[in-house]
Structure 1
Amino acid sequence: MIFDRSLDILLVHCQGESGNVLIGGAPEIPGATVLDKMNHLNSVDSSLRLFVTREPRAQVVHTTNLLLEPTRPGADAAFIVLQPDMAHPMSGSNCICVVTALLETGRVPMVEPETLVRLDTAAGLITARARCENGRCLSVSLDNVPAFVWQLDQVIETPKWGAITGDIAFGGVFYAQIDVDQIGLRIVPEAARALAEAGTEIKALLADQVQVRHPEIPSLDDIAYVMFRDYQPDGSVLTCTTLKPGRVDRSPCGTGSSANLAILHARGQIQTGDVRISRSIIGGIFTAEMLGETTVGGRPAVLPRITGQGYVFGRQQLRLDEADPFAHGFAMSDTWGPQVGEL
């Protein structure tokens, strides 16, 4: 078998959430900044994203992070989150996967007991502190971009559940965060299919009811995810982020946890130095700490730190073949969900 052209992919997960890292073979992506490159992937040429995120090479749960040379001074690397629906600017679990891959492959030299890694993303510069021992990355703490509230208690009209409310906030991408009891479900593994369908249905409704725009990055102007939440008596939050076309995040969701810190701060429930635990639908844990306060475009914002762990579990080589009839991939509703036709 001839592999004249191929993609080299490191298989990584963070608390069960796939965050594979494309470490070699990718074409040059046009653009002066990572944001420009992401916009090119979304609006000009989506072929690379489709190749690595859809069948027959991937399933709905797969994310591939495109590793790039940084465009910001002082950054060690850059990445873009490639998912089946589009390329996204930031993801906490995927960022943890990228840092783990960079260190455990030696692309960024590992320094024990802690290595500092600066990552260029379309959402801004991320500073990661990785705890390292015996050549392994044991945990990663991300100093995320500032998180802020767009609207608290936003009313969302739905045909199925009537008028429900959610908080709209930015934590690297925009979220609608909704108390799960409003849709009559619980955040448990056996409800994953129903949660995924509810989240994608609500996301479609939000497009006509809520307009968002990052005050400093105008092209970030859509609500990327609906996150269901269930606040616990001990102060932790049980999370379930839903992703188009119809699945749930296996991790506690780093950008969602960042947005949650902004919401809690806006409600006067946390202050600088406070730590909250985020738990996923399968029991994974992130810690979310509020490091301080700032502003974004005149809006009050918080500085979040998200800590979790990633695991490198394999390696994959994908052959690039011009004769492949499914070079752009495909997705079917039997496993991808009822809204697959909207991809």
Structure 2
Amino acid sequence: MRDHDWIRQALMFEPRGHDIMSGAIIYPAYREDCDFAVIFIEVSGCLPMCGAGTIGLVTAAIEEGLVTPRVPDRLSIETPAGRVDIRYEKPGEFVDSVLMFNVASYLHAADVAVDVPGLGRLVVDIAYGGNFYAVVEPQESWRGIDGLSASDIVGLSRSLREALEPVCDPVHPDDERIRGVHHAIWCDKPSTRNADGRGAVFYGDKAIDRSPGGTGTSARMAQLHGKGRLKVGDIFRQESLIGTVFEGRVEAETDIGPFKGITPSVGGWARIIGHNTIFVDDRDPLAHGFQIA
């Protein structure tokens, strides 16, 4: 993408995209144990991993015939964060569900105290689930999601990220290119009996995830496991801001460098809602798109 980032910009930026736009680019795998490889793109750049994007990608790739699995109902995908294994159910014409076995996830730092403008002193955990997250649980200065708009959460998230930068700058022990806290998940109690928790996931420059967040659910489970609140075999169902739910499970314990972590699985579904043809005209001075602060 270093030499072709104009493609990402043209697809993600206005007027073709928007602030929370994200996508995936498929290409041949370098690893022999993978069916294909993917780069995840969004407005602020490229991501090591995207869980909701993977569920959508698998659904579209199988239903549209973009890839041919070597093993029926199974895929292995090479992502920048590592290999991600997939099981999907396709009883007929459509993919009903996708189960993603995510990269190893872990609690990087617990009980990190920071002063956040607009909130005051906040204690957060830093967890990795394919991206590094600041995990914020309800506390004296953070009562929960209810009563806050998406723009409120974006503002708080940007302040939190800025406050964390000089305090905690995590680096993945196996890949130093994966570093820094760029995501946040603001946790709350669920609004439905079908979930165990609810979260608002912040990413990019000013985006709030509409899905429960695949890497966010993985990071949340890693955080709970690291604090002794989940064990192998436990299920954790994460609810999104719009009421959809991903079902996560602690599949196994594993080591990530000096850290103890987990292999998480996350299950969900996606639906194809359209096809789009994009034009980029060199005569257009804004051919690669634009952003408004």
What TM-score comes out, normalization by structure 1 length?
0.80
Letter in 1 for 2:14: E
Three-state SS of the structure 1 residue aligned to 2:21 is: coil
Aligned length: 291
Residue 327 of structure 1 aligns with which residue?
Answer: 287
Residue 126 of structure 2 is aligned to residue 168 of structure 1: yes
Residue 65 of structure 2 is aligned to residue 106 of structure 1: yes
Q: Deviations over 1:55-85 (max 9, x none)?
A: 1111112112111111111211111111111
Q: Which runs of 4+ in 1 moved over 3 A?
A: 109-112, 180-186, 231-235
Q: What pairs up with 1:276-291 in 2 under 5 angstroms?
A: 276-291=236-251
Mapped to 1, the partners of 2:139 and 2:283 lie a distance apart of 50
Residue 236 of structure 1 aligns with which residue?
Answer: 196
Identity %: 26
Mapped to 1, the partners of 2:207 and 2:169 lie a distance apart of 24
Residues 185 and 191 in structure 1, CA contact (< 8 A), matched pair in contact too: no
Residues 149 and 169 in structure 1, CA contact (< 8 A), matched pair in contact too: yes
Residue 158 of structure 1 aligns with which residue?
Answer: 116
In the superposition, relative to structure 1, how do residues 102 and 45 fare at CA in structure 2: closer, same or farther (>3 Å)?
A: closer
Gaps of 5+ in 1: 1-28, 30-39, 333-339
228-237 vs 96-105, which deviates more? 228-237
Residue 235 of structure 2 aligns with which residue?
Answer: 275
Residue 206 of structure 1 aligns with which residue?
Answer: 164
Letter in 1 for 2:103: V
Residue 78 of structure 2 is aligned to residue 137 of structure 1: no
Residue 266 of structure 1 aligns with which residue?
Answer: 226
Gaps of 5+ in 2: none
Q: Tell me how large the CA RMSD over aligned residues is.
A: 2.1
Residues 190 and 239 in structure 2, CA contact (< 8 A), matched pair in contact too: no
Choose which of 67, 74, 89 in structure 1 pairs with 2:33: 74
Larger helix percent: 1
Mapped to 2, the partners of 1:247 and 1:313 lie a distance apart of 21
Residues 200 and 243 in structure 1, CA contact (< 8 A), matched pair in contact too: no
Measured after TM superposition, the shift of residue 181 of structure 1 is 5.0
Mapped to 1, the partners of 2:142 and 2:165 lie a distance apart of 23
Choose which of 238, 257, 261 in structure 2 pairs with 1:301: 261
Measured after TM superposition, the shift of residue 45 of structure 1 is 5.0
Residue 17 of structure 1 aligns with which residue?
Answer: none
Letter in 2 for 1:128: I
What TM-score comes out, normalization by structure 2 length?
0.93
Measured after TM superposition, the shift of residue 244 of structure 1 is 3.1
Measured after TM superposition, the shift of residue 281 of structure 1 is 0.6
Mapped to 2, the partners of 1:79 and 1:183 lie a distance apart of 39
Mapped to 1, the partners of 2:181 and 2:65 lie a distance apart of 36
Three-state SS of the structure 2 residue aligned to 1:238 is: strand
